[in-house]
Structure 1
Amino acid sequence: MIGLGRLERYVLVRTLGGVGAALAVISAVIVLVQFVDLSRQVGVRADVGAAQVFGLTLLRSPSVIQILLPFVFLFGGISAYVGLNRRSELVAMRAAGISAWRFILPSAMAALVAGALTVGVLNPVAAALNARFENDRARLMENYLGDTPKDVWLRQGDDKNQIVIHARSRDTVDGTVRLRGVSLFVYQKNKAGAPEFKRRLEAAEARLMPGFWQLKDVREATAGESSVRSDSLSIRSTLDAEAAMERFASPDAIAFWRLPAAIRLTEQAGFSASGYRLRFEQLLATPLLFAAMSILAAAFSLRLARLGGLAGLAGAGVALGFVVFFFNQFAGALGKGDILPLFAAAWAPPVVALLSGLTLLCYTEDG
């Protein structure tokens, strides 16, 4: 808060206090809802207690909280500015000739910084906790109530070779990915760049080691030749354990710093990386979205209380926040469907929200 006057610091502290209170309330609601939901899903097991369910809840909740953080800045900002308005503090500021821009911009900048921290720090932590949540839940629910392992499909490759991997089941032991009942289809690109089938390998088990797959009880068959058996075999891999696990996860579950590598590996394997690219752009736009929500909160809360209609205007701000949220989801869906360019799908909602807030603020403050 260096360089800010006493008034700006006061309003900023009040705004941050409102944001903190909104974060506490929303987090408590999310934890409660997640606990009830997991109790219904996992808690039906006789050997799973409330402590384990609560532990799973704490692992899962940060990912959900991250999704709702824009509402934290919207609700917290509205709460802070409405409080200042009802205590006639905004009247005193206006009477002293102080422009609203003077104390709104520091709050918006604080939201921008919070957005950058969310993307760079909270997102990787939430992704790691969510990955642990998925593993712990799968372990608790393994072979329960008819749950059966699902087939696993992976693909890796580079400029010369492509390998399609199919397995009947997977698990992770001490950070090592292990596949069972594995089939590997190896293709080599010809001069025209088209893949040509070269060989097929069947293995009872495959472990992903640094830089290679370690196969056990292997049968190798090449086109036009008889199969050859071996106890073990190593196959070069372009995946690491984390990248392999990310293939089983949605783009939302991958940490921000891992997304560029996920995009590169996915495209090397011949798949479309549009989902990962969209998620990367959305995370880059997150700071702007937080700042836009902070400005919207101020724009809908500066009407003087003595003029009436403040509650209705604040309610309209909340409604507009939900509109922005659903617009963001809708634009993301259009981006995933290649209907909108990924850049536009990710950046349009925060830009529209920011322009809406600035327009209303200019109309309210400057006429």
Structure 2
Amino acid sequence: MNRLQPLLTLLSFLNPWRNRRLETYVLLRCLMGTLTGLVVIASIIFLIDYVEISKSLGQRADLNSFQIIGLLLLKSPNIILVLLPFAFLFGTLSAFVGLNRRSELIAMRAAGVSAWRFILPATGMAAIIGVLTITVLNPIATVLSDRYDQFNSGLEQSDTRVKRTDIFLRQGEVSKQTVIHARTQDARGTLLDATFWTYTLAKDGTPTFEGRIDAKEAVLKTRNWLLKNAREAKPGEPAQYFNQLSIDSNLDARRAFDKYAAPQSTNFWELPATIFQIETSGFSAASYILRLHQLLATPLMFAGMTALGAAFSLRLMRIGGLARLTLSGVGLGFIIFFLNQLCGSMGKAEVIPIFLAGWATPAVSLLAAMTLLVYTEDG
């Protein structure tokens, strides 16, 4: 107990309702239920990913069980964060249903305690956890996912059965754009048989061809490309040959070859700079802007799911219909999750405004829960 005392003191300090026993008791019940729901969801994801990694990577590399578990711990956290709203929904449902079955909820209501008094602390704590998720857990999960992708890429490069595809990149500034093409990429990340086409942009955005550079090898450094055995040609001028040639670059050397594939691989703190870089290079950053809005809306989503779980489990046992109402809450939670995915797809395609795609579903979930609470509590 003495060893746990510092942790309990820290948790007590983080609890804004620490001086109120009733709110603290209900809050702890909700946190325990959420933790239980998280363990169940994580276990299912671990099982699915274990089978997938064993089938996909196990055929290309001699991996033992401990190595597969290590890869599992790198890949799964990102997926768990996507499904984390369900942990709040199921955890809050189980917590309030438990309070209902033990007649504790009846005692609270009989004492004249409003439902708002013990629902708002749980909702507020869910929002606080949402802030911690996007600022701390998301960057950690992104780093782990990057390491998994690096391991997977290393296997693909060493596997001769994997078909090599051409590489296309693009970099640029406000008045200049460069399109890069390479036949292949070796194990060190060096582009082979690379070609650089450079264009200048007029004020109306019209591109004008400026020149072309062909190089046997091209290595992306921190601020520049290092080209070997390069040939530079410009319109109306004789070609020039260089053993080594350096040209400026604003691409990130760590993420230049995969950043356009998955916005989920960019953590919360890097998203603004990545969005600026993609837009400067002439690409659409809609997926990354949507990802930023979805992360910013995470506290609202967690709070909405928590409030929904509470709203659908407040019906007293003696009135009946609690099981049906609870199942309705679970069904509505799944509908909200798939609605969020649908809005995300429509936002990426720019069918609806990106801001609306990122914030609509969390706002609707919280407003629906508040409406149901007002209806059941205040008539």
Structure 2 length as normaliser, TM-score? 0.92
What corresponds to 1:95 in structure 2?
110
- What is the CA distance between 1:168 and its match in structure 2? 2.6
Match 2:74 to one of 55, 59, 70: 59
Question: One-letter code of the match for 1:14?
Answer: R
What corresponds to 2:9 in structure 1?
none
- What is the CA distance between 1:51 and its match in structure 2? 2.5
Unpaired segments ≥5 residues, structure 1: none
Superposed CA offset, 1:91-128 (max 9, x none): 01011110110011010010001111111111111111
Question: One-letter code of the match for 1:319?
Answer: G
What corresponds to 2:89 in structure 1?
74
What corresponds to 1:320 in structure 2?
332
Match 2:176 to one of 158, 161, 167: 161
Superposed CA offset, 1:220-272 (max 9, x none): 22223443221111010112223424534311221111111111111111111
Superposed CA offset, 1:46-103 (max 9, x none): 5233322222211110110011011010011111111111111100101111011001
User: Is the 8 Å Cα contact of residues 43 and 50 (structure 1) preserved in structure 2?
Assistant: no
- Partner-residue secondary structure (3-state), 2:244: strand
What corresponds to 2:10 in structure 1?
none
64-73 vs 1-10, which moves further: 1-10
User: Is the 8 Å Cα contact of residues 307 and 369 (structure 2) preserved in structure 1?
Assistant: yes
- Partner-residue secondary structure (3-state), 1:62: helix
What does residue range 168-317 of structure 1 map to in structure 2 within 5 Å?
168-170=183-185, 173=188, 178-190=190-202, 192-317=204-329
**C-alpha spacing 1:14/1:32, structure 2 compared with 1 (3 Å):** same
Match 1:332 to one of 340, 344, 347: 344
What corresponds to 2:7 in structure 1?
none
Q: Once superposed, what is the RMSD of the aligned Cα atoms? A: 1.7
Superposed CA offset, 1:263-315 (max 9, x none): 11111111111111111111111110000000000000111112221111111
How many Å separate the matches in 2 of 1:171 and 1:365?
65
- Partner-residue secondary structure (3-state), 1:51: helix
How many Å separate the matches in 2 of 1:155 and 1:256?
23
- What is the CA distance between 1:138 and its match in structure 2? 1.7
What does residue range 96-135 of structure 1 map to in structure 2 within 5 Å?
96-135=111-150
How many Å separate the matches in 1 of 2:327 and 2:186?
48
- Partner-residue secondary structure (3-state), 1:168: strand
Report the count of equivalent residues. 364
How many Å separate the matches in 1 of 2:224 and 2:160?
36
Superposed CA offset, 1:169-202 (max 9, x none): 34675xxx53233111111124554221111111
How many Å separate the matches in 2 of 1:231 and 1:22?
61
Percent sequence identity over aligned pairs: 50
User: Is the 8 Å Cα contact of residues 157 and 187 (structure 2) preserved in structure 1?
Assistant: no
User: Is the 8 Å Cα contact of residues 42 and 141 (structure 1) preserved in structure 2?
Assistant: no
Structure 1 length as normaliser, TM-score? 0.95
How many Å separate the matches in 1 of 2:318 and 2:82?
36
How many Å separate the matches in 2 of 1:44 and 1:239?
34
1:32 aligns with 2:47: yes
How many Å separate the matches in 2 of 1:245 and 1:76?
40
225-234 vs 243-252, which moves further: 243-252
- Partner-residue secondary structure (3-state), 1:98: coil
Unpaired segments ≥5 residues, structure 2: 1-14
How many Å separate the matches in 1 of 2:261 and 2:67?
23
Match 1:360 to one of 366, 372, 379: 372
What corresponds to 2:360 in structure 1?
348
User: Is the 8 Å Cα contact of residues 243 and 262 (structure 1) preserved in structure 2?
Assistant: no
